[in-house]
């Protein structure tokens, strides 16, 4: 027999099939050790066959298997091939997506434990051997026990009893369970008519993908859980994807409580051993629901019955390291292959997804009302320019202070939201709210201090830094945004007796960081939670009746063509944290741009209005989904080498451009807006392809060359950040 092997080395030079001789017990999907060059390396068996064209004298033999079963399923192998071809990455990189990284390093494996129980009959133990008698009594009472525990409790008595034949040992496999003891009750709820209709629609539609567009609190989760329970009953499996899992522990507990050990959770907060075991439980079919962030789409489940992507608009579904895959695309491949349905859920679908639903590609299902017809919280837009004019330099408007005061007086809780997505140096006039934008692109400009100028990240245009506001002549030019620390400082002065919790990147270190803060807050151990994006996710704190959005402008003026969309999503999500209990909630939204249409639509929960406006703007400006932004990045530590590579890549792209000029809306080579990050020089070729152009694959091909030395070349599609 012969095996076609891909070696686990992510380099294009060795990115090909190597044939090895092997025994009968080698199967496709196994990890094996093979002689390679002068050493030994790990490889993946892609296929087993009867013949090979490699001459006998050059043929080498597989040395051994790494595990005694195929770690990769047939489906994984086939998906890995599609991914390698689509994103032009070495097969090894693509295959690695399907394994827990701990497995590759060989640092963790299956855990075994030895258990002791009493044997049927044994000679009497003398009364003076008190420890031995105690041990026997313990086993009589508690049944079989782990050897480690017994040794700790009874010391050498265990060995003595074993020698007498009084106890017998059994070595067995155990699972490290990250959520033991955490599951409570979560009985299925009786679906509301709207939920039941949604489930029906998913079944009845001929379309693979359904978009479940339901306002926050409309009960989307129960729809997902019903669909999952149904496919489990048919003996199938399910994949359930959520954005960043450590931020939504409640969702995990709900699933665990509903499905028990049938659910396996894959996420980066687990210890390597736990992660490995959860993965193994799925691979062996003990667990049949894979839950996790985007990488859970690679879960080793077979016979998939449904794939759910919750909060489908979330940016974390795009991978930012090679291969830069989009989770939706992989999910669709799996759904097609398994012939199953896919459900995307969101209160604020991405413009791109919503358009596909409107155009009939996806089934559009809406849940327009909250469960029990609870009202959506009322949103008050506060004009911060007026606060400046009134001489209030604080981060808090008079209105927000008033409402905070009464919220605290009633012993309710408040969440204050600060936007700090990346750090953008967008400049703004604090007197009138004017923000400098690119004349060509209608995207906010970014200040670059080393050149003392404003730049457009979408076309490279440069503008003078403002000295006075071109709109009102005012001199209060500043950056958009406020710092968390400043806010907390002011807050402490305003409400000295309030308990304040802060949640951002700086305060959530460690595995349990977020979780602890959220738990404290949910137990009402604090009155005010101040935080960044992290507080916007799907938390359910019934005591929260006030949400303050301190600087809506920060996201509104982020230099990204999606800044409007992101702002709408963010405001809706944060507002959705208010008034989830019995008492109605309120939202205070502070901005220097109170007439902005995005904020107006968000304040009235008008998704349709927002969408109509946004899609027209995208079309007018030729932004996605009417075009595709493609950036080829070239980075390296040596500037000369980096430039040489850039030249080489550029030549190829340039001839592509010359041959298909009509399909390009924009084509330019330049420095990346930030010229150096972590000692790496950064250059880019920025392109915008007209809608319907199929040059993307040719761009990937042009970049997948083998001669680049010490430089990294990669392609980004509609990147979330162009810095
Ligand atoms: P969404 O995910 O759409 O924001 P949730 O799934 O969090 O909404 O549901 C909001 C609240 O309504 C939750 O507290 C949930 O337990 C409750 N809920 C959902 N479905 C039902 C139902 N059929 N009957 C009663 N309560 C429900
Ligand atoms: Zn521009």
Contact assessment for residue 66 and residue 33, using Cβ atoms and an 8 Å cutoff: yes
Comparison of pLDDT for 524 and 483, the residue scoring more: 524
d(CA 419, CA 552): 7
Note the pLDDT of residue 275.
86
* Maximum average pLDDT range among 183-192, 209-218, 433-442: 209-218
Instruction: Give the angle 147-153-159 at the CA atoms, nearest 5°.
Output: 55
> For residue 506, what pLDDT is reported?
60
Instruction: Judge if the beta carbon of residue 191 lies within 6 A of ligand 1.
Output: yes
Taking the mean position of all CA atoms in its chain, how far away is CA 375?
30
User: In the prediction, which pLDDT does 351 show?
Assistant: 96
- Between 308 and 712, the more confident residue is 308
pLDDT of residue 345: 97
Of 71, 517, 626, the C-alpha closest to 299 is: 71
Determine contact, residues 588/380, Cβ cutoff 8 Å. Answer: yes
Distance 134 CA to ligand 2 centre (A): 80
537, 573 contact by CB (below 8 A) = yes
Kindly report which listed range (234-238, 258-262, 285-289) carries the lowest average pLDDT score: 258-262
C-alpha span between 304 and 206 (Å, rounded): 17
The mean per-residue pLDDT over the stretch 10-36 comes to: 92
Choose which residue among 219, 574, 577 to substitute to test ligand 1 binding: the one with the highest number of ligand atoms within 8 A of its C-beta: 219
Instruction: Characterize the bridge pairing of strands 378-383 and 586-591.
Output: parallel
Neighbours of 218 (CB within 10 A): 24
Question: What does the alpha-carbon distance between residue 177 and residue 277 come to, in Å, rounded to a whole number?
Answer: 8
Q: What is the pLDDT of residues 114-143, one digit of tens each?
A: 889 888 777 778 888 888 888 888 988 888
Ligand (nearest to CA of 621):
2
DSSP letters of 256-291? HHHHGGGEEEE-TTS-HHHHHHHHHHHHTTS--EEE
Cα dihedral 547→552→555→561 (10° resolution)? 120
448: Cα separation from own chain's centroid: 30
The confidence score (pLDDT) of residue 483 equals 63
pLDDT value for 683: 93
Task: Give the mean model confidence (pLDDT) for residues 241-262.
Answer: 79
Closest CA to 441 of 458, 424, 427, 426: 458
Query: Which tokens in the block code for residue 481?
Result: 């945004």
Strands in 136-225 per DSSP E? 145-146, 167-174, 209-214
Instruction: Convert the pLDDT of each residue in 30-84 to its tens digit.
Output: 999 999 999 999 999 999 999 999 998 999 999 999 988 999 999 999 999 999 9
Residue 97, pLDDT > 60, answer: yes
Q: Give the distance (Å) from ligand 2 centre to CA of residue 670.
A: 13
Return the C-alpha torsion angle 441, 447, 450, 451, nearest 10.
Answer: 50
Is residue 219 in contact with ligand 1, taking CB distance under 6 Å?
A: yes
pLDDT digits (tens, 9 = 90+) for 628-658: 999 999 999 999 999 999 999 999 999 999 9
Whether the pLDDT of residue 536 is over 90: the answer is no
* Mean pLDDT of the chain, nearest integer: 88
The Cα–Cα gap between 360 and 362 comes to 5
Q: How far apart are CA 660 and CA 203, in angstroms?
A: 43
**pLDDT beyond 90 at 261:** no
Q: Which ligand is nearest to the CA of 438?
A: 2
pLDDT for 354 equals: 98
Whose atoms come closest to the Cα of 446: which ligand? Answer: 2
* Burial of 678 per CB tally in 10 Å (0-12, 13-18, 19+): exposed
Determine the atom of ligand 1 nearest the C-alpha atom of 216: 4
What pLDDT, in 10s, does the model give residues 550-559?
Answer: 888 877 887 7
Contacts of 557 (CB under 8 A, 6+ apart): 424, 426, 428, 435, 444, 480, 563
CA distance 589 to 384: 10
Is the predicted pLDDT of residue 183 greater than 60, yes or no? no
Residue nearest ligand 1's atom 18 by CA: 219
Average pLDDT (297-321) is: 94
Distance 219 CA to ligand 1 centre (A): 4
Of the segments 96-110, 175-189, 317-331, which one has the largest average pLDDT value? 317-331
What integer is the mean pLDDT of 572-601? 89
Rounded CA separation 42/62 (Å): 10
Q: Which two tokens stand for residue 453?
A: 């100028």
Closest atom, ligand 1, to C-alpha of 371: 12
CA distance 617 to 611: 10
Count of H helices and E strands in the chain?
Answer: 22, 30
pLDDT, mean of residues 583-610:
93
Q: Residue 213's Cα: distance from chain center in Å?
A: 20
Note the Cα 194 to chain centre separation in Å. Answer: 29
Distance separating alpha carbons of residues 536 and 572, to the nearest angstrom: 9
Mean pLDDT across 323-344:
96
pTM (predicted TM-score): 0.85
- In the prediction, which pLDDT does 352 show? 95
Residue 95: per-residue pLDDT? 96
Query: What's the average model confidence in pLDDT over 267-286?
Result: 86
The residues, any chain, with a CB within 8 Å of residue 96's CB and separated by 6 or more, are 8, 10, 104
**Confidence check: pLDDT of 421 > 60:** no
Q: Which residues contact 622 (CB under 8 A, 6 or more apart)?
A: 665, 688, 690
Check if 579 has its Cβ closer than 6 Å to any atom of ligand 1: no
Query: Whose CA is closest to 716, among 691, 699, 695?
Result: 699
Q: Which of 551, 505, 481, 559 is nearest to 720 (CA)?
A: 559
- Rg of the chain over all Cα atoms, to the nearest angstrom: 29
Rounded average pLDDT over 586-612:
94
Average of pLDDT values for 513-536?
84
**DSSP state, residue 246:** G
Ligand 1 and 221: CB distance under 6 A: yes
Please tell me if the CB atom of residue 577 comes closer than 6 angstroms to any atom of ligand 1. no
Question: Best of 187, 188, 194, 221 to mutate for ligand 1, by most ligand atoms within 8 A of CB?
Answer: 221
**Model confidence band, residue 705 (pLDDT cutoffs 50, 70, 90):** low
Cα atoms found within 13 Å of the Cα of residue 532, Cβ hemisphere only: 18
Query: Quick check: helix, strand or coil at residue 113?
Result: strand
CB of 218 within 6 A of ligand 1: the answer is yes
Tokens representing 645 are 């590579």
Q: Which residue has better confidence, 155 or 482? A: 155
Mean pLDDT of 168-192: 76
Secondary structure class of 641 (helix, strand, coil)? helix
Q: How many angstroms is it from 372 CA to the middle of ligand 1?
A: 9
Q: Which atom of ligand 1 is nearest to the CA of 310?
A: 2
What residues does 716 pair with on adjacent strands? 631
Residue nearest to atom 17 of ligand 1 (CA): 219
The Cβ of residue 375 has, within 10 Å, a number of other Cβ atoms equal to 10
From the list 625, 40, 626, the residue with the least C-alpha distance to 353 is 625
Q: Residue with structure tokens 């017809």? A: 373
Please name which of 141, 142, 146 lies closest in space to residue 169, comparing C-alpha atoms.
146
Residue 603 pLDDT grade (very low, low, confident, very high; cuts 50, 70, 90): very high
pLDDT score, position 422: 47
665 φ, ψ (degrees, to nearest 5): -90, -20
Show the tokens assigned to 507.
Answer: 């305060």
**Nearest atom of ligand 1 to the alpha carbon of 221:** 6
**pLDDT level of residue 353 (50, 70, 90 thresholds):** very high
Separation of alpha carbons 126 and 360, rounded Å: 82
| Residue 178, pLDDT score | 67
DSSP 375: P
439 pLDDT above the threshold of 70: yes
What are the φ/ψ torsions at residue 638 (nearest 5 degrees)? -95, 120
d(C-alpha 90, C-alpha 343), whole Å:
31
Cα–Cα distance between 548 and 397 in angstroms, integer? 10
């Amino acid at each position: 027999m012969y095996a076609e092997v891909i070696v686990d080395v992510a380099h294009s030079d060795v990115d090909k099939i190597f044939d090895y001789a092997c025994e009968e017990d080698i199967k496709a999907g196994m990890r094996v050790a093979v002689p390679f060059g002068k050493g030994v390396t790990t490889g993946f068996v892609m296929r087993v066959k009867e013949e090979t064209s490699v001459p006998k004298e050059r043929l080498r033999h597989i040395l051994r298997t790494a595990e005694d079963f195929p770690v990769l399923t047939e489906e994984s192998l086939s998906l890995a091939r599609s991914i390698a071809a689509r994103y032009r990455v070495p097969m090894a990189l693509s295959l690695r997506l399907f394994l827990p990284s701990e497995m590759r390093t060989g640092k963790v494996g299956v855990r075994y434990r030895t258990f002791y129980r009493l044997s049927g009959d044994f000679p009497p133990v003398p009364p003076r051997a008190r420890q031995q008698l105690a041990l026997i009594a313990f086993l009589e009472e508690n049944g079989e026990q782990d050897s480690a525990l017994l040794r700790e409790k009874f010391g050498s008595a265990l060995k003595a009893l074993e020698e007498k034949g009084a106890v017998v040992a059994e070595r067995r496999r155990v699972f490290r369970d990250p959520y033991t003891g955490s599951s409570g009750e979560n009985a299925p709820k009786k679906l509301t008519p709207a939920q039941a209709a949604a489930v029906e629609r998913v079944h009845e539609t001929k379309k693979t993908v359904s978009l479940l567009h339901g306002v926050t609190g409309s009960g989307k989760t129960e729809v997902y859980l019903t669909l999952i329970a149904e496919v489990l009953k048919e003996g199938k499996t399910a994949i359930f994807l959520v954005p960043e899992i450590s931020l939504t522990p409640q969702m995990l507990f709900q699933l665990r409580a509903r499905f028990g050990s049938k659910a396996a959770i894959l996420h980066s907060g687990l210890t390597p051993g736990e992660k490995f075991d959860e993965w193994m439980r799925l691979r062996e079919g003990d667990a049949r629901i894979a839950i996790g962030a985007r990488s859970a789409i690679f879960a080793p489940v077979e016979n998939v019955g449904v794939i759910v992507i919750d909060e489908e608009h979330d940016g974390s579904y795009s991978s930012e390291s090679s291969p830069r895959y989009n989770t939706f695309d992989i999910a669709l491949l799996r759904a097609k292959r398994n012939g199953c349905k896919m459900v995307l859920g969101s209160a604020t679908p991405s413009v791109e997804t919503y358009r596909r639903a409107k155009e009939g590609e996806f089934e559009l299902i809406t849940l327009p009302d909250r469960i029990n017809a609870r009202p959506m919280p009322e949103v008050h837009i506060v004009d911060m320019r007026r606060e400046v004019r009134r001489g209030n330099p604080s981060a808090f408007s008079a209105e927000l202070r008033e409402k905070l005061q009464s919220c605290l007086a009633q012993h309710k809780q408040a969440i204050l939201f600060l936007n700090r997505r990346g750090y953008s140096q967008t400049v703004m006039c604090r007197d009138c709210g004017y923000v400098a934008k690119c004349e060509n692109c209608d995207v906010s400009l970014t200040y670059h201090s080393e050149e003392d100028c404003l730049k457009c990240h979408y076309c490279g245009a440069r503008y003078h830094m403002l000295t006075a506001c071109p709109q009102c002549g005012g001199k209060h030019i500043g950056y958009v945004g406020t710092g968390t620390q400043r806010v907390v400082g002011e807050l402490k002065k305003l409400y000295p007796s309030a308990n304040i919790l802060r949640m951002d990147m700086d305060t959530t270190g460690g595995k349990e960081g977020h979780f602890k803060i959220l738990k404290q807050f949910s137990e009402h151990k604090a009155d005010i939670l101040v935080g960044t994006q992290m507080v916007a996710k799907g938390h359910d704190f019934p005591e929260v009746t006030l949400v303050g959005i301190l600087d809506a402008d920060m996201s509104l003026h982020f230099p990204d063509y999606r800044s409007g969309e992101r702002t709408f999503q963010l405001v809706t999500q944060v507002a959705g944290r208010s008034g989830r209990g019995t008492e109605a909630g309120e939202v205070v939204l502070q901005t220097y741009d109170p007439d902005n249409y995005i904020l107006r639509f968000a304040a009235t929960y008008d998704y349709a209005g927002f969408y109509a406006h946004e899609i027209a703007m995208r079309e007018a400006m030729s932004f996605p989904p009417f075009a595709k932004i493609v950036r080829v990045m070239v980075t390296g530590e040596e500037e000369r080498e980096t430039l040489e590579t850039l030249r080489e890549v550029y030549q190829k792209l340039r001839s592509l451009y010359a041959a298909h000029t009509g399909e390009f809306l924009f084509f330019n080579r330049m420095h990346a807006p930030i010229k150096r990050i972590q000692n790496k020089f950064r250059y880019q070729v920025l392109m915008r392809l007209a809608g319907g152009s199929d040059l993307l694959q040719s761009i990937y091909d042009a970049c997948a060359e083998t001669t680049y030395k010490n430089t990294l070349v990669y392609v980004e599609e509609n990147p979330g950040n162009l810095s």
